[in-house]
Amino acid sequence: MAARTKARKRAVDILFEAEQRKVEPVALLAERVAEPRTEAAVPQYTVEIVEGVVAHRERIDELLETYSHGWTLERMPAVDRALLRIGTWEILFNDEVPDAVAIDEAVDLAGTLSTDDSPSFVNGLLGRILDVKPTLLA
């Protein structure tokens, strides 16, 4: 597994756990960085993702609600929400990651971590975000 893929998975884990425990993701991230539960340190890219998603969460969630066609954020599986937030952040706010890579990584992780229907759902919604990206950044 590539380093950035591992970092994305750790970011999903942190965002998911923070939501389940009803704690702030940045606080949980700080806890993991200070006292990692595993031998592996939290990758810097995980930190960038979590901080980026939190910084832009209101806008990201608004876009996901707008383009999900009939799905509220609350109705989506929690893992899918985390993946969609990360994918949207990478597409709109991280110029270092090609858009196609952001979508492919989110879809691959959805296939590994979520429901059987999640990869196509994640792919479709992130594809819609990508389609409207030029108007969002104008």
Predicted confidence at residue 34, as pLDDT, reads 83
Using the structure block, give the residue that is written with the tokens 């196509």.
120
Predicted confidence at residue 5, as pLDDT, reads 95
Q: State how far the Cα of 104 lies from the Cα of 119, in Å rounded to an integer.
A: 9
Q: Please check the confidence at residue 7 and state whether its pLDDT lies above 80.
A: yes
Question: 3-136 in CATH: which number?
Answer: 1.10.940.10
pLDDT band at 39 (very low <50, low <70, confident <90, very high): low
pLDDT digits (tens, 9 = 90+) for 43-95: 999 999 999 999 999 999 999 999 998 889 999 999 999 999 999 999 999 99
37 is written with which tokens? 């539960």
4 is written with which tokens? 């950035």
DSSP 3-27: HHHHHHHHHHHHHHHHHHHT--HHH
Predicted confidence at residue 41, as pLDDT, reads 82
Predicted confidence at residue 1, as pLDDT, reads 72
Long-range residue pairs from 38-43, CB within 8 A, at least 24 positions apart, any chain: 42/10, 43/3, 43/6, 43/7, 43/10
Q: State how far the Cα of 109 lies from the Cα of 118, in Å rounded to an integer.
A: 9
Predicted confidence at residue 87, as pLDDT, reads 98
Using the structure block, give the residue that is written with the tokens 């030029």.
134
